[in-house]
Structure 1
Amino acid sequence: MSRKTIKIHNKSSKPDNIVLQENDRIELCEAIEHKLPHYLSPYFTYLKNAVSLNTRLAYLRDLEFFLRYIVNETRMTAAEEPSQIELETLNKLHARDINYYMGEYCARYVVSGKENDYLMENHSKSLGRKRSSLSVFFKYLYREGLIERNITDGFNPIKLPKPQPDAIKKLEIDEVAVMLDAVETGKGLTEKELQYWQKTKYRDKAILMLFTTYGLRLSELEQLNLSSFHFGRGEFKIYRKRGKEVNMPVNRSIESVLKDYIELERKQLQPQDGQEDALFLSLQGTRMTVKAIRQLVKKYTSIPLGTAREDGYSPHKLRATAASSLIEYGFSIYDVQSLLDHDNVTTTQLYAAHRKNLKREIVNKYELLDEFDKGIRSNYKALPEGSENTESVSENEVQESTEED
């Protein structure tokens, strides 16, 4: 049976496209919940209210993966599906079982496909997320009295590598200029790419400018609508993580590239049904997908980098580019933190630490001998007239001191 078309009755301030995206994720969550034991329903309700929608989906996927591991890779249960696992099986688990699962199984495992087997390898960040999801799960079971022991205290820590400023991938300011020149002139594109560029150059430039000016997340840009922008007020609205609505200012450069795109390209397209308000359209008249935007960014960033298209930077690297560039131009880390919506200022500090020649700038601006000389000369000028020390200061020295101060 084909699925019915969903009609939106939207009384919230969120645009319809975001409401639809959230509904798709909710349906994914519910589909996973139906595959899990029924006695976990209160836990599913807890996740709805405790974490963001994306985190809820990630935690449910991790839980299903873990329970499938119990079914397929261990002798702990006779169940053939995760939904059949009894609560008693979970009650018998020890911390060492979770540590083995995390350290031995999750680190590297094989997934069978129709034609090939795929070797899956998780790095520390992925393992840390899986550990977190299981910690939340078992803490909930213990708190609600569903299991007898709090086994999470015995979970082995997952050591995450400390982010290093020198490892941040971003474009330098001169590379941003090369990228924008490529999108404006077509320089560096192949003959086939130039055919598409002729039809999308204003759109592509607007996308790259939004990324490098505001450091938008990919999802934030993909969700933009025509109605998101109020040029009369000089602002536009975006929806950030955890559903936060934020008004962003529009500067002259962004207003110019967006109006060029809307007038010279977008008005020539025929949006498909339900896509009339989407800001960035494909040539087929549909909202540009996350995948299409990612490929576009990789294409244009590969030109200043001098790499193959697939080795170009992702939109997230343009977010890092925006953060570093703003700090290079002298904005404080707190201003940049606010613009980019970093939860913790230490994240923003990484970009400050990555400034080129930062140490040299600091040291050159702090010449101790110069400051010492200024202090001595100030003292000389403060001495009473006719004093012996005053006579030792020449007119030229007094003039030099005045100029320096």
Structure 2
Amino acid sequence: MAGTNNYHEQQNIQNAVKLRELLQALPAFSYEFFRGIEPTTSSKTRIAYAYDLGVFFEFLRLYHPDFMGIQTTDITLDLLDRVAPDHVEQYLEYLKYYVKEGSKEIAHINHERGKSRKLATLRSFYKYFYKKRKLKTNPMLLVDMPKIHEKNIIRLEVDEIARLLDEVESGENLTDKQKQFHAITRDRDLALVTLLLGTGIRVSECVGLNLGDLDFNVNGIRILRKGGSEVIIYFGEEVEWALRNYLENGRKQVPVQTVHGEALFISLQGKRLSVRSVQNLVKKYAGLITHLKSISPHKLRSTYGTNLYRETGDIYLVADVLGHKDVNTTKRHYAQIEDERRRQAARSIRLREQ
């Protein structure tokens, strides 16, 4: 699996460089924290942590009297021991709306999930140094996580799936300019959307696919999950047809750059298709068939999970195929379907003959 590993290794290298840039703006002791969590976190997670810590230290410099006038890089662990639960609660309030230092125009807004993630970052940060006995206090333990209100899962219904695939195949409702590109990318776009709908893989897993990760003998693709584990995901006849058609016809229409020669999905520039490109592609086609739903690659993943659960009723199978480490995550996502099944079952019970 050398090709796939190379792609993900390149992503990790880029993330490592980005993390180093972010660490230069953080206190020196932060390096120890990021070294400590490296074995148990992904490179993307560490970047998110670095961003979150930067926001927290900036807040302290603005609103905590003991931090005012001190550069972020000069903050010490002794100073962090002066942060109390009240300051953390004030920070959560601050996160609702703030403008980053040096950027007077870009406002940042955090809702429940954003605030919860940032507090989770601080909990990990304080827990690490408190456990090492380099902090005497851990105020994060005394602040409740923001309550998260579960949102309804946005997914495509059966008729919407059919219309989406028809639209990708025909392109009849695209603009004249879009139709010019569609003539070249149709087979690729159809294969890509069909694969997402037919396997539920993540968009990052999709763009990381190489030609060598595809095996029509078993109708399976080899992918790397977020945690780095390698798994085989199987697909049906519709996905097989779309992939074969793309490989035999569509992929040959674009000259592929040598460095990207192993990539399965190729852009018009002959490069490996990017995550952002797939997001824009899905948004473009989905916008033609529904105006009420904001459809992204992740929503296609939810659509697949919903269909699989309705067909099998096996929440553990859905969790396994989607790559959820905790089945409770899957249960929360598909609780609505379970509730629907319970209502249908209740209606089927007859106590007396009509």
Fold match (TM-score > 0.5): yes
CA shift, 1:302, in A, is 1.7
| C-alpha distance 12-89 of structure 1, shift in aligned 2 (>3 A) | farther
Indicate the residue corresponding to 2:256 in structure 1. Answer: 271
Structure 2 residue corresponding to 1:102, chosen from 72, 88, 92: 92
Does residue 124 of structure 2 align to residue 142 of structure 1?
no
Q: Deviations over 1:214-248 (max 9, x none)?
A: 11111111111111112234321111111121111
Further displaced range: 170-179 or 105-114 = 105-114
Contact 1:299-1:312 at 8 Å conserved across structures: no
| C-alpha distance 303-49 of structure 1, shift in aligned 2 (>3 A) | same
Q: Which amino acid counterpart does residue 107 of structure 1 have in structure 2?
A: K
Structure 1 residue corresponding to 2:178, chosen from 185, 193, 196: 193
Q: Work out the CA distance in 2 between the residues paired with 1:40 and 1:302.
A: 43
TM-score by length of 2: 0.91
Indicate the residue corresponding to 1:344 in structure 2. Answer: 326
CA shift, 1:343, in A, is 2.7
Indicate the residue corresponding to 2:100 in structure 1. Answer: 111
Q: Secondary structure at the match of 1:93?
A: coil
Q: Work out the CA distance in 1 between the residues paired with 2:232 and 2:351.
A: 45
Q: Work out the CA distance in 1 between the residues paired with 2:131 and 2:339.
A: 50
CA shift, 1:185, in A, is 1.9
Q: Secondary structure at the match of 1:329?
A: helix
CA shift, 1:53, in A, is 2.4
Indicate the residue corresponding to 2:169 in structure 1. Answer: 184
Contact 2:4-2:210 at 8 Å conserved across structures: no
Does residue 354 of structure 2 align to residue 366 of structure 1?
no
CA shift, 1:184, in A, is 1.6
CA shift, 1:202, in A, is 0.6
Q: Which amino acid counterpart does residue 313 of structure 1 have in structure 2?
A: I
Q: Secondary structure at the match of 2:100?
A: strand
How big is the alpha-carbon RMSD for the aligned residues of Structure 1 and Structure 2? 2.5
Higher Rg: 1
Q: Work out the CA distance in 2 between the residues paired with 1:352 and 1:156.
A: 25
Indicate the residue corresponding to 2:141 in structure 1. Answer: 153
Q: Work out the CA distance in 1 between the residues paired with 2:186 and 2:338.
A: 31
Contact 2:198-2:235 at 8 Å conserved across structures: no
Q: Secondary structure at the match of 1:232?
A: coil
Structure 2 residue corresponding to 1:168, chosen from 149, 153, 168: 153
Structure 1, gaps ≥5 residues long: 1-10, 371-405
Does residue 301 of structure 2 align to residue 319 of structure 1?
yes
Q: Please list, as runs of the form range in 1=range in 2, the aligned pairs for 1:1-40 lying within 5 A after superposition.
A: 14-40=4-30
Contact 1:79-1:85 at 8 Å conserved across structures: no
Structure 2 residue corresponding to 1:354, chosen from 314, 333, 337: 337
Q: Deviations over 1:363-393 (max 9, x none)?
A: 35433447xxxxxxxxxxxxxxxxxxxxxxx
Does residue 78 of structure 2 align to residue 88 of structure 1?
yes
Q: Secondary structure at the match of 2:260?
A: coil
State the percentage of identical aligned residues.
Answer: 30
When the two structures are aligned, how many residues end up with a matched partner? Answer: 353
Q: Work out the CA distance in 1 between the residues paired with 2:67 and 2:343.
A: 63
Q: Deviations over 1:142-163 (max 9, x none)?
A: 22121222222222431111x2
CA shift, 1:118, in A, is 2.3
Structure 2, gaps ≥5 residues long: none
Indicate the residue corresponding to 1:382 in structure 2. Answer: none
Q: Work out the CA distance in 2 between the residues paired with 1:28 and 1:250.
A: 36
Contact 1:33-1:44 at 8 Å conserved across structures: no
| C-alpha distance 143-345 of structure 1, shift in aligned 2 (>3 A) | closer
TM-score by length of 1: 0.80
Higher RCO, Cα 8 Å, sep 6+: 2
Contact 1:234-1:250 at 8 Å conserved across structures: yes
CA shift, 1:328, in A, is 3.0
Further displaced range: 207-216 or 246-255 = 246-255
Indicate the residue corresponding to 1:401 in structure 2. Answer: none
CA shift, 1:281, in A, is 0.9
| C-alpha distance 76-16 of structure 1, shift in aligned 2 (>3 A) | same
CA shift, 1:126, in A, is 0.6
